[in-house]
Amino acid sequence: MRRRREHDAFTQHVLERLARVASIQPKSMFGGVGFYVEGSFCALIADGRLFFKVDDANRSDFEKAGMEPFQPFPDKPSKLLYFEVPERVLADDARLKTWLDKSLAVARRAAKKKR
């Protein structure tokens, strides 16, 4: 029960932070939460960690910060291109907006490719 409360508290914290910089729509999925901005899926929470969508345009931001990719199954690499968001980014509105905007651009490019 304690872990559930911690998960809920972190999710609430993330929602509050993201709402400061974008119109975010959360959706529960697979035991976590997915986040949509303007209809594009660009972020998720899994195991109490926030991840943003990446591609070659923004991956280096996350790698330079020493962040890890999202891997739902530790024994095999994920084809989902999300990296954990550093706490210092989540805590800073200007940085958070910049990183979220980049991830939103990634999500939009990916959606165009699928069409």
For the chain, domains (ranges, CATH) are 2-114 (3.30.1460.30)
pLDDT value, residue 114: 77
Residues 51, 46: Cα–Cα separation, whole Å: 8
pLDDT value, residue 104: 97
pLDDT value, residue 1: 45
Quick check: pTM over 0.75?
A: yes
pLDDT value, residue 7: 65
pLDDT value, residue 32: 87
Beta bridge partners of 29: 32
- Collect all residues with Cβ–Cβ distance below 8 Å to 37 and sequence separation of at least 6: 22, 23, 24, 25, 43, 100, 104, 107
pLDDT value, residue 2: 46
71-79: long-range contacts (C-beta < 8 A, 24 or more apart)? 72/46
Segments in the chain below pLDDT 70? 1-7, 78-80, 115
